[in-house]
Chain A
Amino acid sequence: MTASRAIECPSCGGALAIKAAGHSVTLGCQYCGALLDVAHPDVAVISTYEGAVRSLPLPLGVRGTLFETEWEVIGALERSDDEIGWTEFLLFSPYAGYRWLVSSEGEWQFGTMLLDRPVNDGDTTIWRGKEYDLDYDPASTTTDRVVGEFYWRVRAGDRVNAATYSCGDETLSAEWTGDEISWTQLIPLSDYTIRTAFVPPPGAPRKTFGRKGGPPRPGAGAASSPGFLSRAHDDFMSARAMRQDDLMKMFLIGLATIMASLFVMVGFGISTQSVENTLNIAVDGQEQSLTIGTLTINRPHQPVTISARSSSFDNRWIDLDYMLVDRATQRAHTAYGVVERYSGTDSDGAWTEGGYSATVKFSSIPRGTYDVVVDAGAHAWPAPLTTSIMTSAPPGGSEPGPWDLPQATSWSDGERIELRFTASAGGIMWSNLWLEMALLFGLPLIILWWRSD
């Protein structure tokens, strides 16, 4: 068991407690930031800290249980490289020794110093039979701030070279200066785990744990515990595939882009004019033509949307040949649509297919006045047999038997279907949005899939 030792900061007079007395040699004052030498009975100031002491995601002195061991946060280092900064908390247990808790951009990792040295081979490292791949090229990291106590002499401005190697959700961190190298195994922990494990000491000011909200209140009941959604969010964020660097930011940037694009699409897609008309068409009768109305395109280019909605029918399809005829040039833009619905029964039971409406979109229609024309033909299914089959005699020259006669023709005798058309200048090309989503989220999803593999 290691005893605590109380000292007074020579710089600011703040009351400090050395948690691992006898082990700690450096102490960063949590009040004024002064770096103290506590290895000797006469505590001396190594350096003072210019500027206010900022709050930490985890306050010094807080205790928490991780992996069935109670740890106390006794020190914190703020470190950075050329790209990002992170905080490393030194945990201490009188029974288990020292561990690390690393907080980087809201993600947490639990670090254990390795006593057996991994075998390094360029971009891969082998430790206890597992192969770890190099994440990034080695980078120089700087200690920007020191708070609390440490078992070695550390001060702001210290620089070491560092590299990380990953195998699944596990990371090995290597740091070296000169000939000395230290290895640390890092295991991801969820934000929820950290928030529930570490509770501030009674009377301590509440601080924000990690990137989300405050810590759970000691002694509070179920009402204050994180809800299912919050926990699910934390679990999702801490899943190994989401862990590390910038994947979440990529999703957020992609989402913001999609929202901005949607806003623009809706703005340009607002309908400026709309016409309607109705057609009553005979099933298996003559194809009928209808001028739905006249549309004027006022912008340089605009989409045209035509929707058709029918009365109820079954086992029929209606071919719709649309034309937009420019009154000035008589040039026609054509498109095909179909309204179809079928139903039946098989060994799995009843089934239906299709629907009573269909929408067709013309893209990039230039400015002008257009007649919107549709040629519609309704057909029964099964289709009537062709004339050649109906009139052909079976082999042997006898007259066609009753099994050869088409029965479908009689099903649609006199049947009519009403179609209501709506044509409008404008519309949103949703397919563009789906394509954009595929292009934007493809890369992050590939990374997500690759990491979770």
Chain B
Amino acid sequence: MTQRLYLFAAWCLLIFAGSVAASYYAWSPFSDEDRGGTATVRGPTHK
């Protein structure tokens, strides 16, 4: 294995640990909470 591969494997391990922690705490940076409410008029974006 090359040094670059070792570094990438370590990076994967870090990401996986983050993923497990996020799953345990049910955390997501893209949840729908606190998103903008009903104030705007909506409509198609088709052009």
Q: CA A319 – CA B41 in complex, angstroms? A: 10
Indicate if the CB atoms of A265 and B38 lie closer than 8 Å.
Answer: no
Which residue of B5, B20, B22, B38 contacts A246 across the interface (Cβ within 8 Å)?
Answer: B5
A393 at the interface (CB under 8 A from B): no
Indicate if the CB atoms of B31 and A361 lie closer than 8 Å.
Answer: yes
Indicate if the CB atoms of A246 and B35 lie closer than 8 Å.
Answer: no
Indicate if the CB atoms of B23 and A335 lie closer than 8 Å.
Answer: no
**Interface size classification for chain A:** 35 or more
Q: Are A253 and B9 CB-contacts (below 8 A) given A342-B46, A365-B26, A432-B28?
A: yes
Complex interface: chain B residues within 8 A of A432 (CB):
19, 22-23, 28-30
Q: Are A257 and B43 CB-contacts (below 8 A) given A361-B32, A363-B26?
A: no
**Interface size classification for chain B:** 35 or more
Q: Which residues 433-453 of A sit at the B interface, judged by CB distance below 8 A?
A: 435-436, 439-440, 443-444
Complex interface: chain B residues within 8 A of A333 (CB):
33
Q: CA A321 – CA B3 in complex, angstroms? A: 51
Q: CA A299 – CA B27 in complex, angstroms? A: 13
What are 20 pairs between A and B in contact, CB < 8 Å?
A83-B2, A246-B2, A250-B8, A254-B8, A257-B16, A260-B16, A261-B16, A265-B19, A269-B23, A303-B26, A317-B43, A319-B42, A334-B33, A338-B42, A353-B46, A363-B31, A364-B25, A364-B27, A365-B26, A435-B29
A contacts, CB < 8 Å to B: 83-84, 245-246, 249-250, 253-254, 256-257, 260-261, 264-265, 267-269, 299-303, 317, 319, 321, 333-338, 340, 342, 344, 346, 351, 353-354, 360-365, 377, 379, 381-383, 429, 431-432, 435-436, 439-440, 443-444
* Interface contacts beyond A338-B42, A363-B33: sample of 8 additional A-B pairs, CB < 8 Å, sorted by A: A83-B1, A246-B8, A342-B43, A344-B44, A362-B31, A364-B26, A383-B43, A443-B11
